[in-house]
Structures are given as structure tokens and as C-alpha cells.
Amino acid sequence: MDRIGNLGMGAIVGDNGVTFRVWAPNANSVFVMGSFNDWKEDEYPLEHENGGYWAVHVDEAGEGAEYKYVIYNGDNKITKNDPYARKVTNSVGNSVVINLRKDWENHNFQLPSFNKLVIYEMHIGTFNREGLNEGEVGDFFTAAKRLDYLRDLGITAIEIMPVMEFAGDQSWGYNPAHPFAVESAYGGPDGLKHFIFEAHTRGIAIIMDVVYNHFGPSDIDLWQFDGWQENDLGGIYFYNDYKAKTPWGENRPDYGRKEVRNYIRDNALMWLDDYQCDGLRFDATAVIRFMQNEDPQNNATLEEGYRFLQQLNGELRSKFPGKILIAEDLKADPIVTSDIKLNGLGFHTQWGLGFVNHIRRVLLEIEDKHRNLQLVVESLFLSFNNDVFQRVIFTESHDEVANGSARLPEEIQPGEADGEFAKKKSTLGAITLMTAPGIPMIFQGQEFITYGSFTDTEPLDWGRQAEFNGISRMYQDLIRMRNGRDEATVGLTGQQTETLHFNQDTLVLAYSRTHIDHQDRPVIVVLNFSHETYTDYQLGVPLEGSWNVKFNSGWKGYDEDFAGTENMSVSAQGPFEKKPRSVKLDIPAFGGIILIR
């Protein structure tokens, strides 16, 4: 099982030369050729090992050498890249020998506790293209230039959309062609290591988005790798029957083969160990554990995929207890984050659609009379296995702002994403996000009212960050209250949530967040989902003592359109709504107030 720690796979750099090892169980013979032997196809035959593995040591090969395998299956001669290639020249080029551990010391970085994570989802190719020529994609080096900004914003973790080598130079990344290689257009392995090091030195964790539910569909040398296949399907790395079907083609990995399970498992280990990533976000885990049927409501469990996820997560949690495993499952199923001992899948947390769907629906409603405040309450109180941090919540993600949808301000006011309602409602969503129970995540540029829809060709417009620096400041204030660095708002890192006030007529909702170790420091959140500004609005509060305004979205420093309710204090009152004390305060339209004791 432990091939990385034992024999190793791919091109293993030694003190003298390189050992090449590949799995090709149906091959009659295998050769390696490369820049070290002028690409002679028959000079270096690999010896056959047990289990369909082949290996050879080449003294003349070294780091930086380009290579490929020549595989013979009967009369069929096949030239393939190394499935374990940690670097390729490009998706249709050659494999490159590289030692990922060379000049790469342990950063000894510690991921913040889950209740203090604030995640920033990033697409490397579009995040920062400043200084590049038109048509050039952003890379790890240009992205790293903005890390000071993200640190100052209060971000504690960056989730990188997939960077496995994909076809072409522009992609979302969910079409991995060479799963072990880092996208060459982004700067390859050296670029990624640079980015991770620079993030860690600023106290920012890196979570890698990985795709194990399908490979390809294009430029995949894994396809019919050693010449064998059935039903004209993918060969040894894939299912070759009805189990092959996914939403992206007939390209599901064969989780029933131990060699394929090892392959994916070695890939996960590479990101966490060799690159020192701080966690993994697994794309579309439901496609790993369910088969695609004509009736999507009646998908059959793929037992092999289910057991594989359990096995993988069990090993990763054992070897890397300080790292986070996130599932994008979208089934709202508590079994995804249940303990493996209870037959759960063992993920720490999962992306959930309940929060984003409910909040966007409420914010996109045009008339107050049709706005359903109960949807907000339901989005606040959903949790898995009695742990509020077993879900990642967001109002924007790469999926929610594309594929026929758009950025939240754009959806609120199409063509006028910088309009008053777009700004107020979208930031009301942000206030809800940063004060709700769960692990909050924002999508790149959300913090400065990025408009339109996300594509892999349009770079972020950083001019908007200067134009809407007040709104960016609001996000910064909210994030700093949420990431655990402000002791006054420690309640936002706690498990306990209580509804204090619910009024469908006024569309005002108030709730408290409390940390069990700091019961004397709850945080009260007051949200107004109506277009009315309220004066002297009375609310019951859970504890006696004085309450102060920590945050008021009506401060004109955030935006001139927000000005009007800038009070930073509240007046204490007697009992109200079965609470021992109450307060009166002014609440801005489509805005929020945060109170501390």
C-alpha cells in the first residue's frame, strides 16, 4: 500500500541517477526514453516487477531531464507521459524529472482552529494579472504579490481552485490532465512552493482543491495507458463499464482497483506532505460515492467509492491530524462529516448549499412583502452532527457566480452592481455570513463588489478595490471580528446560537453567538432585511450590563450610500420579550448592527 514511503512511483531522484517506476500490467515490455539518451526508444528497458509494475535505474538521468515511457502491448506501441509526473512541460508535452523536497524545509506552519478559519477562494489564473501583457494568465508569482493584502484583510486560509495540469492555459481546473503535475502556465511546482511559503510566512493557510471524481476529459495520458481497455473505455485507471459514467464523460477512476486507490492516495499525500498544504477540498464527492443514473433522485451507492473515501480520510487524518479535509458533497448529508467508526466518511467539514440558496433567495427578492425571514433562520441553525463548524458557508463561490448565475451585486441589480441596493444587500449578505455559525468563505473580489459572472479569462479588476475601499474596509472589519483575533467578539467563534428577536413584519432578526468558554461575552447580531430604516427599535438581550455597538453598517465611512444611522451606542431598557433587559437602537435599511457587552 505504502508505495511512496517504500518503493516510490514515477521518477525517483537518487544520489546517482533516477529510478523510473510505472504500473502497466498489460504491457509486454516498457522502455523509458528522454533528453538523457537523445530519445532513443529501446535503450533503457524496464524490468518487470510483481503486480504489473516495471522499473529501471538510469545513471545518466537527473533532475530537469524530460522523459516518456514507450509501452508495447502486442503489436501496439504506445508513447505515454508518466502518470506520476510531478512536472510536465505542458499538457501535451513531456514529463520532467523533479525532486519536490529539494531546498524545501518544513515550515512548521499550524492551521488555525476550524472555528477561526475565514477562507478566501482563489483562481490563480485570474486573481492578479497586474504587470502582465494582454492574454497572459496570472500565476503563483503574481498571486503572491497580493498576499499582504489578504493578510491585512484578515484571511486565515486560501482555498486554491485546482492547479493539476490541465488542457491549455486557461481553465477552472476541474479537468485534470496530469494529476501529479502542477499547471505549467501557473509556474509549475516551483511557483506553487513559492506561493505556499509566502502565504505561510504571513500566517495564511493553503487548502488545495483536488479532483478525484473524474480525470480529463482531454489530454489525459492515463486513458488506455498500457493499451488494454474494454467497451472502448479508459483502461486500467478507469471503470470500463456502466460505472464509468460521470457528468463529465465516462471517465470515473476505478476505485475497485487497489493500484488506482494508491494512485489517488499518493496524490493526496503529495499535496499535504511534499507541498505542505494545510488541507484538501475534495470536488464533488457525491460523484465518488454515487453512480449516475437517468433518475438523479435515485442514484445507487458506489460502495467502492464510499469505502475508498473512508480509507483515504482515515489515513490522512492519522498522518496529518492538524490539517483539514473538506467535502463538496452538496447532499446535506451528516454522514459525510460523521466519524469513520460510525460508518461516516470522516471529512472535517463540507460545503453546503442551504445557506447560500436561502440567503441569496432572500436578498434577491425585490419586494419586502415577499421576503421570507424564516429562510434566514433556517440557514443559521442547520448543522451536521451537532457541530456548526462541519459546514462551510458562503454567498459567493466559483459555482454560484457562473454557469448562468452572476456575482451577488450583479444579480441584485443587473447592470448596476455598484448601485445602492446592490451594495447594501450584498454586504448584508456578508454581515450574515461572517456572523452565522459555520466556516465562512468568500470568493475572490467579493470584498470590493466585483460584478458580472466569473470566467477563467477575465482577470479581477483591482481598480475596484480602490474605488470601493470603504466596502473592502467593511469586509476587513467583519473578518477581523470573525477570525478570533478580537477577544471582544469571541462569541462568533462559538457553537451556541440563540434567536433573540424575529419579526416577519419589520423583517428584523436578532440572534446571539456565544462561545461555551466565554459565556459572559456573547455577541448580538441585529439584521434588517427591509428597505426601512428603524429608529429606537427595541430588542430583548440575554444579559444585564451595558451593551456597545461594535459594528454598524450604516457608517458612511463604508459608503456614502450607507450613511444615516451612525450611532455607536445604545440605551439600556427594562425587561422585554421575556428577556431581563433590552436595548433601543437605530437599524439601517438592509443593514446590520453588532453589539458586544
- Structure confidence at residue 7 as a pLDDT band (50, 70, 90): low
Q: How many other CB atoms are there within 10 angstroms of residue 259's CB atom?
A: 16
Please tell me the distance from the alpha carbon of residue 175 to that of residue 157, in angstroms, as a whole number. Answer: 24
- Cell numbers at 201, concatenated: 510566512
- Cell numbers at 11, concatenated: 521518477
Q: Does residue 1 have a pLDDT over 50?
A: no
- Report the candidate in 313, 238, 245 with the shortest Cα–Cα distance to residue 282: 313
pLDDT tens profile 297-342: 567 999 999 999 999 999 999 999 999 999 999 999 999 999 999 9
Read off φ and ψ for residue 424, nearest 5 degrees.
-65, -50
Q: Does residue 568 have a pLDDT over 80?
A: no
- Report the candidate in 479, 324, 312, 313 with the shortest Cα–Cα distance to residue 389: 324
Q: What is the largest CA-CA distance in the chain?
A: 90
**Per-residue pLDDT at 293:** 65
- Structure confidence at residue 572 as a pLDDT band (50, 70, 90): confident
**Dihedral, CA of residue 175, residue 178, residue 184 and residue 188, to nearest 10:** 120
**Per-residue pLDDT at 296:** 56
Q: Which CATH superfamily is domain 487-596 in?
A: Golgi alpha-mannosidase II (2.60.40.1180)
- Cell numbers at 153, concatenated: 484583510
| Mean pLDDT score, 12-31 | 97
The rounded mean pLDDT for the chain is 95
pLDDT tens profile 138-168: 999 999 999 999 999 999 999 999 999 999 9
- Structure confidence at residue 580 as a pLDDT band (50, 70, 90): confident
| Mean pLDDT score, 341-350 | 98
pLDDT tens profile 198-244: 999 999 999 999 999 999 999 999 999 999 999 999 999 999 999 99
| Mean pLDDT score, 403-407 | 93
- Structure confidence at residue 294 as a pLDDT band (50, 70, 90): low
DSSP string covering 65-118, please? -EEEEEEEETTEEEEE--TT-S-BSSTTS-EE---TTTT-------PPPGGG--
- Structure confidence at residue 543 as a pLDDT band (50, 70, 90): confident
Q: Does residue 387 have a pLDDT over 90?
A: yes
Yes or no: say if 488 and 521 are a contact pair by the CB < 8 Å rule. yes
**Per-residue pLDDT at 544:** 81
- Which amino acid, 333? D
Q: Does domain 10-96 have CATH number 2.60.40.10?
A: yes
Q: How many other CB atoms are there within 10 angstroms of residue 551's CB atom?
A: 22
- Which amino acid, 394? F
**Dihedral, CA of residue 178, residue 182, residue 187 and residue 192, to nearest 10:** 180
In the chain, pLDDT over 70 holds for what percent of residues?
97
| Mean pLDDT score, 499-516 | 97
**Per-residue pLDDT at 570:** 82
pLDDT tens profile 408-463: 999 999 999 999 999 999 999 999 999 999 999 999 999 999 999 999 999 999 99
pLDDT tens profile 58-76: 999 999 999 999 999 999 9
| Mean pLDDT score, 78-89 | 98
| 393 class by beta-carbon count within 10 Å (0-12 exposed, 13-18 middle, 19+ buried) | buried
| Mean pLDDT score, 348-377 | 95
Q: Does residue 4 have a pLDDT over 60?
A: no
> Half-sphere exposure (CA, 13 Å, Cβ side) for 55?
14
Yes or no: say if 140 and 187 are a contact pair by the CB < 8 Å rule. yes
**Per-residue pLDDT at 298:** 61
| Mean pLDDT score, 378-386 | 94
* SS3 assignment, position 481: helix
DSSP string covering 220-248, please? -TTTTTTS--STTS--TTB--SGGG-BTT
Domain ranges (residues) in the chain: 10-96, 487-596
Q: How many other CB atoms are there within 10 angstroms of residue 567's CB atom?
A: 15
Q: Does residue 42 have a pLDDT over 70?
A: yes
| Mean pLDDT score, 466-482 | 97
**Per-residue pLDDT at 295:** 56
**Per-residue pLDDT at 5:** 36
| Mean pLDDT score, 370-384 | 95
**Between 134 and 32, the higher pLDDT residue:** 32
- Which amino acid, 525? V
| Mean pLDDT score, 100-129 | 96
- Report the candidate in 508, 435, 423 with the shortest Cα–Cα distance to residue 478: 435
Yes or no: say if 588 and 553 are a contact pair by the CB < 8 Å rule. yes
**Per-residue pLDDT at 358:** 96
Q: Is the peptide bond before 217 cis (omega within 30 degrees of 0)?
A: yes
Q: Give this prediction's pTM.
A: 0.96
